[in-house]
């Protein structure tokens, strides 16, 4: 979603609390084009012994393996009976456990975006890591995010490897804090694309109020500059133009409009900000299921990677929850009291006159059908949490998203692909991340049980390894406790 939709967030007077837990011996890992860090023999060695590996190269489990991590990379992987554990290695007993690639969140924002960027960013990244997220894409970038990306890559800050999309390109600046570029003409659009590329952003992020001529200019300029376009698809652009342009689409934007029957009395529906307009929900009675299937097929055929952010839209707009249910969420405690109040109010306001149960169900089922249809047609789905919206925080929500993909009809393996291999491919980093293989960066999650049998087991962690740094579950819990405390202090009560 767009940050300007967020309820006003108060950032005042707090001291930077970036944590720097770790200084590796070899800090020369490289971002983006990223080959794994070349390791030196003097470096610390960690061995996962007798572990079941879910490599994610295809659907299989390699039983009783030993995985040797040296520096930031997987140095060896093989039969536990054959792989020799070097003397002095830190030994992690993997018996009965499952080792899989670290998770990738393709859609996040930081609380510390906007005016106070450096403040609690370190804690935000630590929350992601503690949940097993080892790569993350920040969707509306700032110069401070670029600095964070660098710090993480150099090993100066514990965090997931970051990819940073540009400040939002939009036709209309948001009121208040606005981290974007207003692009009203093709010339403004071309200029913005060139400047964002030159500034070092990894992607061009589109949000809303984009006219067709501006869109066309963005696509053309991005092609010339060698940078890819991601984000929202506005109605004047439409789904099929975005597919043709090769844009990577977030939130299934514009799909709900694209699947309306030809004789529907309206053209608007509930994609993106339309979801908050109650009148638009009437369009749910006019959906053409053949168009749903066709849109899914067209997406796959165009080779577009889809980041549907099912969880955010489901929990914000389609499934009512009691205050008690919201409070019971594990991420709830990170939200400062003032922010909680305003978010409860927004939730109550929306649910005081909700769309009919039938339309809510239809909404969920069409979005699920799209995701399943895209996957079955050979398209690639990617996980994104879109936090910190509502009471949904990084990591915690990424697991919900993986579970919601299974609920939409993907197999557990396909859902795990969406959180590992598919985004690695899209990021053009499959040579570094996304699978467990020799030579890859040691971004790993160790689980107590097999997630291919029950997808909720991605939350039953024994520990996380990020860039070769091992963090036990107990250490993760401590990181979360500390971050929660600092979050509360950051906003005051």
Whole-number minimum distance, CB 179 to Zn ion, in Å?
12
Whole-number minimum distance, CB 2 to Zn ion, in Å?
6
The closest alpha carbon to 248, from 132, 382, 136, belongs to: 382
Q: Based on CB atoms, which residue is closest to Zn ion, 2 or 461? A: 2
**Beta-carbon neighbour count of residue 57 at 10 Å?**
12
Q: Based on CB atoms, which residue is closest to Zn ion, 52 or 306? A: 306
The closest alpha carbon to 103, from 402, 474, 473, 390, belongs to: 402
Q: Based on CB atoms, which residue is closest to Zn ion, 274 or 451? A: 274
CA distance 312 to 316: 6
Kind and range of the H or E run holding 100:
strand 98-101
Tokens of 232: 């929202």
Tokens of 115: 């005016």
Backbone angles phi, psi at 474, to 5 degrees: -65, -40
Whole-number minimum distance, CB 127 to Zn ion, in Å?
17
Q: Based on CB atoms, which residue is closest to Zn ion, 256 or 292? A: 256
Whole-number minimum distance, CB 384 to Zn ion, in Å?
8
Judge contact between 255 and 313, C-beta under 8 A: no
Judge contact between 32 and 429, C-beta under 8 A: yes
Q: Based on CB atoms, which residue is closest to Zn ion, 395 or 412? A: 395
Whole-number minimum distance, CB 136 to Zn ion, in Å?
13
Whole-number minimum distance, CB 113 to Zn ion, in Å?
10
Whole-number minimum distance, CB 435 to Zn ion, in Å?
27
Instruction: Classify the phi-psi angles of 155: left when phi > 0, otherwise alpha if psi is within -120 to 50, otherwise beta.
Output: left
Backbone angles phi, psi at 340, to 5 degrees: -60, -50
Q: Based on CB atoms, which residue is closest to Zn ion, 168 or 459? A: 168
Q: How far is CA 233 from CA 80, 194, 230, 246, in A?
A: 49, 21, 9, 12
388 preceded by cis ω (within 30°)?
Answer: yes
Q: Based on CB atoms, which residue is closest to Zn ion, 121 or 139? A: 139
Q: Based on CB atoms, which residue is closest to Zn ion, 275 or 466? A: 275
The closest alpha carbon to 107, from 257, 313, 329, 333, belongs to: 313
Q: Based on CB atoms, which residue is closest to Zn ion, 113 or 386? A: 386
Whole-number minimum distance, CB 169 to Zn ion, in Å?
14
Please spell the DSSP secondary structure of 368-430, one letter per residue: HHHHHHHHHTT-EE-----BTSTT--TTHHHHHHHHHHHHTT--HHHHHHHHTHHHHHHTT-T
Please spell the DSSP secondary structure of 346-364, one letter per residue: HHHHHHHSPPPHHHHHHHH
User: If you compute the radius of gyration of the chain from its CA atoms, what whole number of angstroms results?
Assistant: 22
Whole-number minimum distance, CB 29 to Zn ion, in Å?
27
Residues at the contact surface with Zn ion, assessed by CB under 5 A: 1, 139, 386
């Amino acid at each position: 979603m767009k940050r300007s939709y967020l309820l006003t967030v108060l950032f005042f007077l707090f001291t930077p609390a970036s944590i720097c837990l770790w200084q590796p011996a070899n800090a020369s890992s490289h971002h983006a084009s990223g080959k794994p860090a070349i390791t030196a023999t003097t470096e610390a060695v960690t061995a996962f012994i007798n572990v079941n590996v879910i490599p994610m190269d295809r659907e299989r489990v390699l039983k009783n393996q030993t995985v040797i991590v040296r520096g930031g990379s997987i140095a060896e992987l093989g039969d536990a009976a054959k792989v020799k554990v070097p003397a002095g290695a830190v030994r992690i007993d993997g018996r009965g456990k499952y080792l899989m690639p670290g998770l990738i969140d393709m859609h996040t924002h930081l609380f510390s975006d906007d005016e106070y960027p450096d403040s609690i960013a370190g804690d935000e990244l630590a929350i992601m890591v503690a949940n097993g997220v080892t790569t993350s894409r920040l969707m509306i970038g700032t110069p401070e995010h670029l600095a964070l990306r660098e710090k993480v890559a150099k090993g100066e800050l514990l965090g997931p490897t970051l990819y940073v999309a540009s400040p939002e390109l939009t036709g209309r600046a948001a009121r208040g804090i606005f981290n974007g570029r207003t692009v009203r003409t093709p010339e403004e659009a071309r200029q913005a694309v060139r400047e964002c590329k030159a500034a070092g952003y990894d992607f061009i992020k589109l949000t809303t109020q984009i006219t067709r001529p501006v869109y066309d200019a963005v696509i053309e300029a991005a092609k010339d500059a060698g940078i890819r376009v991601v984000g929202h698809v506005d109605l004047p652009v439409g789904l099929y133009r975005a597919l043709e342009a090769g844009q990577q689409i977030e939130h299934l934007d514009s799909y709900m409009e694209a699947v309306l029957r030809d004789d529907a009395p309206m053209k608007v529906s509930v994609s993106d900000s339309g979801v908050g307009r109650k009148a638009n929900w009437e369009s749910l009675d006019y959906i053409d299921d053949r168009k749903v299937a066709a849109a899914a097929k067209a997406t796959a055929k165009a080779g577009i990677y889809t980041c549907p952010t099912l969880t955010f839209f489901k929990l914000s707009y389609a499934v009512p929850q009691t205050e008690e249910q919201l409070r019971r969420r594990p991420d709830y405690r990170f939200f400062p009291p003032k922010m909680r109040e305003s978010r409860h109010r927004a939730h109550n306001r929306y649910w005081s006159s909700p769309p009919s149960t039938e339309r809510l169900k239809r909404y969920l089922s069409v979005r699920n059908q799209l995701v399943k249809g895209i996957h079955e047609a050979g398209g690639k789905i990617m996980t994104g949490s879109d936090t910190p919206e509502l009471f949904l925080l990084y990591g915690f929500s990424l697991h919900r998203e993986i579970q919601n993909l299974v609920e939409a009809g993907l197999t557990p393996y396909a859902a795990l692909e969406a959180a590992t291999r598919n985004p690695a491919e899209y990021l053009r980093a499959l040579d570094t991340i996304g699978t467990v293989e020799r030579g890859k960066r040691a971004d790993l999650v160790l689980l107590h049980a097999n997630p291919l049998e029950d997808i909720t087991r991605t939350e039953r962690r024994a520990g996380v390894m990020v860039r070769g740094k091992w963090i036990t579950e107990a250490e993760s819990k401590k990181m979360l406790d500390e971050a929660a405390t600092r979050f509360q202090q950051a906003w005051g009560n």
